[in-house]
Amino acid sequence: MKAIALSCAIALSLLFTVAWAEVLNGFDISGASIPAEDIRRGGPPRDGIPAIDDPRFETADKANWLQPDDRVLGLVIGGDARAYPVAILNWHEIVNDEIAGQPIAVTFCPLCNTGMVFDSRVEEQALTFGVSGLLYQSDVLLYDRETETLWSQIWSEGVAGPLMDTQLTALPVKHTTWQAWREAHPTTQVLSRDTGFRRDYLRDPYAGYEQSPTTLFPVSNQAPGPWHAKEWVLGVSFNGQHKGYPFEELDKNAQARFNDTVGGQPFTVLWDADHRSASIEWQEESLPSLTAFWFAWYAFYPGTEVFTAP
């Protein structure tokens, strides 16, 4: 009888272990396209970091709480310019919005310094996104409320759930200072601190994190030197090819514009040394790119090319 009881206990233990391994924060990760053991709880539970679903905006003149060097994600759709202060995104990570009739998801991962904006439509259905409380390679995993698919922000791809392997369409976004964005877009609207939540948007909950060479969560691919792990990098991807442009190298290069090609796609790199901002365009049309910490870019693209100044 003792042997039978022990066998039952072991079986139950294995059952609970399997169940735990397949469900995290209420999400089914069985059959995920990424290793389940690399999906980590970030601390807050599902929706513990609340997305903003009813964003309110104010004019640039009324956003007097923003300082000139405060960082914003800037976006223009249909001639409508909007700025999303990182000081707010640090606390919410996702804003479900609509511009000129186009539903979008503005996303920001403070751990990777990655701000990305996506067209929310998948197969003609507009999705709304929340913060899963889970991370992959230290980067936020989004989820959509309609199908409960988990999405990798940096890969822009479903990694677990009904829409696994589906790609989100990334939109061009500028990660720059409030001063630079306001000068370029004086009629811009600004995401208001009237979010419906009580947060101290003047306090940086990640103060000191950027200066540390270590990450809060482990990543599979350790980024090589000589750059600091949190060095800012412009990441460019086309046709399965990837290239990173460390800001330190762009500074040494000392060119505000220069041409390059990745994956057969030609483009122009735009470097604003005064406002520590980089982006790309082709034939005066903005193209999607990514500003990220060096460790994060390398964690997802270990085979990346790296730009170095001549």
Give DSSP secondary structure letters for 142-174: EEETTT--EEETTTTEEEESTTTTPBPEEE--E
DSSP H stretches of helix in the chain: 2-22, 86-92, 178-184, 247-253, 294-300
pTM of the complete model beyond 0.75: yes
- 88-139 pLDDT tens trace: 999 999 999 999 999 999 999 999 999 999 999 999 899 999 999 999 999 9
Mean pLDDT of 247-264: 97
CB of 183 closer than 8 Å to CB of 52: no
pLDDT above 80 for 15: no
Mean pLDDT of 30-44: 95
DSSP state for residue 52 in the 8-state scheme = B
CB of 89 closer than 8 Å to CB of 190: no
CB of 262 closer than 8 Å to CB of 238: yes
Measured CA to CA, the distance from residue 90 to residue 252 in angstroms comes to: 30
Give the pLDDT band of residue 11 (cuts 50, 70, 90): very low
Percent of the chain with pLDDT over 90: 92
What is the sign of the dihedral through the CA atoms of 146, 147, 150 and 154? negative
| Residue count (the chain) | 310
- 191-218 pLDDT tens trace: 999 999 999 999 999 999 999 999 999 9
What's the confidence (pLDDT) of residue 7?
38
- What pairs with residue 125 in β-bridges? 122
What's the confidence (pLDDT) of residue 264?
98
Of residues 212, 218, 219, 232, the one with CA closest to residue 289: 232
DSSP state for residue 140 in the 8-state scheme = E
User: CB 36: neighbour CB atoms within 10 A?
Assistant: 13
Give the pLDDT band of residue 3 (cuts 50, 70, 90): very low
Give the pLDDT band of residue 22 (cuts 50, 70, 90): confident
What is the sign of the dihedral through the CA atoms of 203, 103, 272 and 228? positive
Burial of 214 (0-12, 13-18, 19+ CB in 10 A): exposed
Of residues 172, 180, 174, 173, the one with CA closest to residue 66: 180
pLDDT above 80 for 5: no
Measured CA to CA, the distance from residue 302 to residue 5 in angstroms comes to: 49
What's the confidence (pLDDT) of residue 66?
98
- What pairs with residue 191 in β-bridges? 57
Strand order in the sheet with 305-306: 290-293, 232-238, 241-246, 305-306
Mean pLDDT, the chain, rounded, equals 93
What's the confidence (pLDDT) of residue 33?
98
Query: Domain extents for the chain?
Result: 36-191, 232-306
Give the pLDDT band of residue 263 (cuts 50, 70, 90): very high
Q: What's the CA angle centered on 16, arms 11 and 22, to 5 degrees? A: 125
